[in-house]
């Protein structure tokens, strides 16, 4: 048995890979559901219904998908250039806290301008946070996996200090949360009585912009070349350092915008449980999407659907909703395997 | 089974396919003890595949391998070693951070009494080394050895494992002519002691001088068997290629103004001096050849003139402008064509499409982009032109460049460089690994460029190439350049000595 490189990987195969991976992981996770004592088909039925079965379910799923689209794009953009940004979680929180801090002071501005300022400053915060590790990597060869990962914890501590201290909301009955942004700066809801907000539209538009940059611009071309073969890129005269710095700014900025949208789209303030690991889940989302920006939108909705649906499934059969984490994790593992098969062919000898 | 003690290896009807490619097609051959057999063939003829089947790296689709009358388990390197087959690969398989003796022992060390075993293996190594004239210091770190010495270690490693059959894949590709002749003297001694030797080569003179028998491989099949006494060089060339191929030769032209000038250029890399005080000039309408065994500093020189590095000291001028910062894009824009030595790893991004690789050096220019957006139609049209003009075959424009064969990849790289009518060409190993037809085409294109007033720096390890093309030749050894000699007085022996660092500083500087 050996692996042979495929000469051609057809687009159909690339499209089928994540779908097959998801199908296989649902099949495997059926075992866990059975062990938890629920009928498998019924459980998956509730999961699907809970995620997409009603207008309300769909709005919930899309609400969850919004930050995942941005952290997924953040990972996709960086990973394509082989910049291993594991710090989207920190960039998201920093973007959120900067947005919250400024958001309390934008009362005089018209709503759209306030939104624009807040989104951009959230993005800027994320950019600056990833700039440090990237410069350390380029100038001193410091491994960005370590620096970006560890910065997540530092940012979380910083956010904690801020919302317990200077940014604390005095009207929150002692709960550690930041003072809310002014009402005028909150994004409009898309559907009455649901949490879904305009941030989702913004996220999809951003994904389209990123896809355009990736596919049609000189910068996208350069980033692709750097990621696929850095030696050839350098030989061809592509300015490696400048490209990687721009990639870092884009990646960090996207995650920061994700944090900003969460703040001005949902609650209006920052708490320490604002993100259930959106930054890390973004990596899974990006991998499932094969690092393609538009694929990120689809895989975000899938992953968000699993999380939202698993709650419904858990309620219906009294099984732990942590099964959602298992499904998403297994689908990542299967996807990694499936990517191997998309690139190589197995030959029995 | 009848035992024929003098037959070391018998391959029968070996067939191996890689996808649609028939790499070996029903090959049968017999090699006896005390015999040196050459497998002669072009790149892609199936020589290495065949030997990898013998050594158990690959499993043949059909056919059998017998060593000393016994069938070999297919696909087991271990079985091949146990049966007495030793292989010296083209790319050595030694650990640079271990000593010679550690490398040789690795895989055979004793767990129980390592100290005693070490003493014993040292004795054996010294015995082998003096018996076959393979001098090497057992305690030297492999990383500090020259290429020739590393090859000796590889051979000793095979002998240490009691190889009775030794297979060498392109053993002289990295050696100076002098090192090569000492290698063949060693092989002769080993054959006299009863070993069977097979070496792979595509060099006609080498196989005629050193083999007892020559097997010519073409397109996966043995097309002829000759002895050196009965084969002429031209006949072998024709058998190998399948048709007559004539490599073009240089025509002397009056040279013009200097295009590339180096004045005492040095390059430090950390603590290492990679290039030491180099001085040379390339003018219009001339080809300056640089020969050297790989790893002697030609890489550093190539980095400097292709814009990847900046001189630590000295003055390097390209087309009248001193090189003060690393800027490949300026070189491309100014009219410097650059052909890198490793076309797969440096020349192209294999996983990007053919058309993207065609424009990669000029993607930021107004011709191929506007306001940061790539002009895909212009790029496609340009690539289509290149494909037509330089006869690039094997992949549609929007498929990965990786699908192109080595020869077609080189056509793409040459095409994107020559299409811009360059004033200066830096050609680093432009024909390494190409078949005869492709070599002749590359040579023709370089000579045509010279006729159009282009100056060319040709960096190569191939002495035939440099004597056929260059007007003047210099050698590089441990980072130092020899004086330049005119091509008329260069021969393989003299160049070989220069590549080994023997030259007279005061003589014939041109």
Bridge partners (DSSP) of residue B281 are B261
CA distance A307 to chain B (A): 35
The predicted structure's pLDDT at residue A121: 96
Based on the fold, state whether residues B100 and B111 are members of the same structural domain: yes
Instruction: State how far the Cα of B69 lies from the Cα of A285, in Å rounded to an integer.
Output: 58
- The more confident residue out of B317 and B75 is B317
Query: What confidence tens digit (pLDDT) does each residue in B278-293 have?
Result: 999 999 999 999 999 8
Question: What is the 8-class DSSP label of residue B463?
Answer: H
Instruction: Give chain B's mean pLDDT.
Output: 88
Query: What confidence tens digit (pLDDT) does each residue in A105-164 have?
Result: 888 888 889 999 999 999 999 999 999 999 999 999 999 999 999 999 999 999 999 998
- The more confident residue out of A244 and A180 is A244
Based on the fold, state whether residues B357 and B216 are members of the same structural domain: no
Mutate to test the interface with A, among B20, B326, B349 (most CBs of A within 10 A): B349
Q: Considering B402, B421, B440, which residue would you say is the last residue of a domain? A: B421
- The more confident residue out of A296 and B434 is A296
Residue B96 domain flag: yes
Q: Considering B224, B241, B258, which residue would you say is the last residue of a domain? A: B241
Residue B444 domain flag: yes
B363 CB neighbours in chain A (<8 A) are 218, 221-222
Instruction: State how far the Cα of B485 lies from the Cα of B490, in Å rounded to an integer.
Output: 7
Mutate to test the interface with B, among A2, A8, A80, A221 (most CBs of B within 10 A): A221
Based on the fold, state whether residues B269 and B198 are members of the same structural domain: no
B399 CB neighbours in chain A (<8 A) are 8
Residue B414 domain flag: yes
Closest CA to B102 of B132, B137, B78: B137
The predicted structure's pLDDT at residue B510: 41
Of B75, B328, B374, the CB nearest to A235: B328
Based on the fold, state whether residues B173 and B60 are members of the same structural domain: yes
Complex ipTM, two decimals? 0.86
B302 CB neighbours in chain A (<8 A) are none
- Cβ separation A216–B403 shorter than 8 A: no
Residues in chain B: 510
- Is A3 within 8 Å of chain B by CB? no
* Largest CA-CA distance found in chain B, in angstroms, rounded: 78
Mutate to test the interface with B, among A237, A240, A242 (most CBs of B within 10 A): A237
Pairing of strands B258-269, B272-283: antiparallel
Query: What confidence tens digit (pLDDT) does each residue in B122-150 have?
Result: 888 889 888 888 888 888 888 888 778 88
Span A61-80, average pLDDT: 97
User: Which residue range is the domain that position A171 belongs to?
Assistant: 69-296
pLDDT at A33 over 90: no
Based on the fold, state whether residues B43 and B135 are members of the same structural domain: yes
Span B427-446, average pLDDT: 87
The predicted structure's pLDDT at residue B507: 53
The predicted structure's pLDDT at residue B509: 43
- Cβ separation A217–B364 shorter than 8 A: no
Based on the fold, state whether residues B307 and B411 are members of the same structural domain: no
Span B81-107, average pLDDT: 87
Based on the fold, state whether residues B153 and B236 are members of the same structural domain: yes
The predicted structure's pLDDT at residue A332: 83
Instruction: State how far the Cα of B371 lies from the Cα of A227, in Å rounded to an integer.
Output: 23
Based on the fold, state whether residues B139 and B174 are members of the same structural domain: yes
Of A221, A222, A234, the CB nearest to B308: A234
A349 CB neighbours in chain B (<8 A) are 59, 75
- CATH number for B200: 3.40.50.300
CA distance A198 to chain B (A): 29
The predicted structure's pLDDT at residue A1: 60
Span B340-367, average pLDDT: 92
How many domains are there within chain A? 1
Residue B464 domain flag: yes
Span A93-97, average pLDDT: 97
Residue A252: count of CB within 10 angstroms of its CB: 34
Of B75, B332, B340, the CB nearest to A237: B332
The sign of the dihedral angle between the CA atoms of A11, A15, A18, A21 is negative
Of B19, B59, B306, the CB nearest to A235: B306
The sign of the dihedral angle between the CA atoms of B394, B400, B402, B403 is negative
pLDDT at B506 over 60: no
The predicted structure's pLDDT at residue B190: 92
Residue B341 domain flag: no
The predicted structure's pLDDT at residue B403: 81
B307 CB neighbours in chain A (<8 A) are 237
- The more confident residue out of B507 and B432 is B432
The predicted structure's pLDDT at residue B57: 86
Query: What confidence tens digit (pLDDT) does each residue in A195-223 have?
Result: 999 999 999 999 999 999 999 999 999 99
User: Which residue range is the domain that position B48 belongs to?
Assistant: 7-241
CA distance A262 to chain B (A): 32
Span B81-101, average pLDDT: 87
Residue A128 domain flag: yes
Based on the fold, state whether residues B163 and B288 are members of the same structural domain: no
Span B247-269, average pLDDT: 90
Residue A264 domain flag: yes
Residue B343 domain flag: no
A228 and A221 in contact (C-beta within 8 Å)?
Answer: no
Residue A179 domain flag: yes
Question: Residues B378, B382, B383, CA angle at the centre, nearest 5°?
Answer: 120
- Cβ separation A216–B356 shorter than 8 A: no
- Cβ separation B307–A237 shorter than 8 A: yes
B332 CB neighbours in chain A (<8 A) are 237
Based on the fold, state whether residues B15 and B134 are members of the same structural domain: yes
Return the percentage of chain B with pLDDT > 90, whole number.
Answer: 51
Span B362-389, average pLDDT: 93
Nearest CA in chain B to A218: B372
- Cβ separation B351–A229 shorter than 8 A: yes
How many domains are there within chain B? 3
Of B306, B329, B349, the CB nearest to A228: B349
Span A1-29, average pLDDT: 79
- Cβ separation A349–B75 shorter than 8 A: yes
- Is A349 within 8 Å of chain B by CB? yes
The predicted structure's pLDDT at residue A115: 93
Span A32-43, average pLDDT: 87
Span B87-93, average pLDDT: 83
The predicted structure's pLDDT at residue A218: 96
Instruction: State how far the Cα of A147 lies from the Cα of A282, in Å rounded to an integer.
Output: 18
Span B416-435, average pLDDT: 90
The predicted structure's pLDDT at residue A269: 92
Span A325-343, average pLDDT: 83
Q: What is the pTM of this model?
A: 0.81
DSSP string, B147-179: HHHHHHHHHHHHHHTT-SEEEEESTTTTS-HHH
pLDDT at B94 over 90: no
pLDDT at B491 over 60: yes
Residue A292 domain flag: yes
CA distance B308 to chain A (A): 7
pLDDT at B414 over 90: yes
A238 CB neighbours in chain B (<8 A) are 360
Q: How would residue B244 be classed by pLDDT, with cut points 50, 70 and 90?
A: confident
B403 CB neighbours in chain A (<8 A) are 7-8
- Cβ separation A232–B361 shorter than 8 A: no
Q: Considering B405, B421, B437, which residue would you say is the last residue of a domain? A: B421
Instruction: State how far the Cα of A143 lies from the Cα of A248, in Å rounded to an integer.
Output: 14
> How buried is A22 (Cβ within 10 angstroms: 0-12 exposed, 13-18 middle, 19+ buried)?
buried
The predicted structure's pLDDT at residue B4: 54
Among A residues 212-241, those touching chain B with beta carbons less than 8 Å apart:
216-219, 221-222, 224-225, 228-229, 231-238
Of A4, A219, A231, the CB nearest to B345: A231
CA distance B510 to chain A (A): 32
- Is A1 within 8 Å of chain B by CB? no
B378 CB neighbours in chain A (<8 A) are none
Of A7, A8, A225, the CB nearest to B360: A225
Residue B340 domain flag: no
DSSP string, B77-115: HHHHHHTTEEEE-SS----TTSBHHHHHHTTS--SS-HH
Q: How would residue B187 be classed by pLDDT, with cut points 50, 70 and 90?
A: very high
B351 CB neighbours in chain A (<8 A) are 228-229
The predicted structure's pLDDT at residue B5: 61
Based on the fold, state whether residues B199 and B300 are members of the same structural domain: no
- Cβ separation B19–A349 shorter than 8 A: no
């Amino acid at each position: 048995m050996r692996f042979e490189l495929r000469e051609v990987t057809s687009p159909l195969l690339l499209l089928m890979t994540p779908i097959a991976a998801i199908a296989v992981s649902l099949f495997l996770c059926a075992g866990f559901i059975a062990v938890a004592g629920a009928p498998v088909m019924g459980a998956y039925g509730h999961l699907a219904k809970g995620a997409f079965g009603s207008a309300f379910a769909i709005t919930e799923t899309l609400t969850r998908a919004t930050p995942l689209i941005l952290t997924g794009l953040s990972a996709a953009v960086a990973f394509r250039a082989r910049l291993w940004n594991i710090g989207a979680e920190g960039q998201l929180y920093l973007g959120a806290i900067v947005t919250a801090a400024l958001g309390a002071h934008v009362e005089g501005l018209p709503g759209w301008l306030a939104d624009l300022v807040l989104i951009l400053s959230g993005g800027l915060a994320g950019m600056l946070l990833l700039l440090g590790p990237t410069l350390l990597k380029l100038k001193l060869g410091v491994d960005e996996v370590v620096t970006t990962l560890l910065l997540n914890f530092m940012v979380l501590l910083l956010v904690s200090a801020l919302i317990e201290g200077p940014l604390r909301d005095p009207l929150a009955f002692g709960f550690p949360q930041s003072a809310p942004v002014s009402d005028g700066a909150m994004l409009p809801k898309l559907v009455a009585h649901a949490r879904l907000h305009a941030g989702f539209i913004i996220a999809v538009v951003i994904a389209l912009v990123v896809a355009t940059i990736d596919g049609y611009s000189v910068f996208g071309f350069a980033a692709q070349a750097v990621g696929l073969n850095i030696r050839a890129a350098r030989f061809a005269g592509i300015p490696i350092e400048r490209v990687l710095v721009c990639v870092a700014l884009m990646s960090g900025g996207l995650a920061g915008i994700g944090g900003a949208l969460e703040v001005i789209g949902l609650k209006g303030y920052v708490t320490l449980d604002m993100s259930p690991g959106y930054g890390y889940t973004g990596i899974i989302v990006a991998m499932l999407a094969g690092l393609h920006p538009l694929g990120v939108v689809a895989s975000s909705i899938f992953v968000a659907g699993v999380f939202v649906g698993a709650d419904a499934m858990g309620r219906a059969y009294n099984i732990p909703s942590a099964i959602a984490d298992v499904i998403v994790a297994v689908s990542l593992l299967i996807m990694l395997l499936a990517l191997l098969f998309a690139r190589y062919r197995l030959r029995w000898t | 089974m009848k035992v024929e003690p003098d037959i070391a290896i018998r391959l029968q009807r070996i067939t191996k396919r890689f996808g649609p490619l028939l790499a070996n097609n029903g090959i049968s051959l017999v090699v006896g003890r005390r015999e040196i057999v050459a497998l002669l063939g072009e790149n892609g003829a199936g020589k290495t595949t065949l030997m990898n089947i013998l050594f158990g790296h690959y499993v043949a689709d059909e056919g059998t391998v017998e060593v000393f009358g016994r069938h070999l388990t297919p696909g087991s390197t271990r079985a091949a070693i146990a049966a007495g087959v030793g292989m010296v690969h083209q790319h050595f398989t030694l650990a640079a951070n271990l000593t010679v003796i550690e490398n040789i022992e690795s895989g055979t060390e004793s767990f129980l009494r390592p100290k005693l075993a070490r003493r014993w293996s040292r004795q054996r190594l010294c015995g082998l080394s003096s018996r076959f004239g393979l001098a090497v210091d057992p305690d030297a770190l492999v990383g500090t050895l020259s290429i020739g010495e590393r090859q000796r270690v590889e051979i000793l490693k095979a002998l240490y494992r009691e190889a009775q059959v030794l297979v060498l894949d392109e053993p002289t590709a990295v050696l100076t002519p002098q090192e090569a002749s000492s290698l063949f003297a060693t092989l002769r001694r080993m054959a006299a002691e009863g070993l069977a030797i097979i070496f792979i080569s595509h060099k006609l003179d080498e196989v005629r001088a050193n083999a007892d028998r020559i097997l010519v491989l073409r397109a996966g099949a043995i097309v002829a068997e000759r002895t050196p006494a009965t084969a002429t060089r031209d006949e072998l060339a024709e058998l190998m290629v399948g048709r007559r191929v004539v490599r073009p030769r240089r025509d002397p032209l009056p040279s013009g103004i200097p295009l590339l000038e180096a004045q005492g250029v040095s390059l430090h890399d950390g603590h290492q001096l990679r290039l030491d005080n180099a001085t040379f000039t390339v003018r219009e309408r001339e080809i300056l050849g640089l020969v050297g065994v790989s790893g002697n500093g030609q890489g550093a020189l190539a980095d400097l003139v292709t814009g990847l590095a900046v001189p630590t000291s000295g003055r390097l001028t390209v087309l009248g402008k001193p090189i003060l910062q690393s800027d490949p894009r300026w070189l491309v824009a100014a009219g410097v064509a650059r052909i890198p030595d490793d076309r797969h790893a440096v020349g192209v991004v294999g996983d990007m499409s053919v058309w993207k690789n065609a424009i990669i050096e000029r993607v930021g220019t107004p011709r191929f982009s506007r306001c940061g957006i790539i002009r895909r139609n212009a790029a496609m049209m340009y690539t289509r032109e290149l494909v037509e003009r330089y006869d690039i075959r094997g992949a549609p424009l929007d498929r990965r460049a990786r699908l192109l064969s080595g020869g077609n990849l080189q056509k793409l790289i040459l095409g994107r460089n020559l299409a811009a009518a360059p004033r200066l060409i830096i050609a680093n190993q432009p024909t390494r690994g190409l078949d005869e037809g492709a070599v002749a085409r590359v040579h023709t294109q370089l000579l045509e460029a010279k006729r159009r007033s282009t100056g060319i720096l040709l960096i190569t390890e191939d002495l035939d190439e440099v004597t056929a093309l260059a007007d003047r030749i210099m050698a590089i050894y441990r980072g130092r350049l020899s004086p330049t000699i005119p091509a008329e007085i260069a021969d393989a022996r003299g160049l070989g000595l220069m590549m080994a660092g023997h030259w007279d500083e005061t003589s014939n500087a041109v």
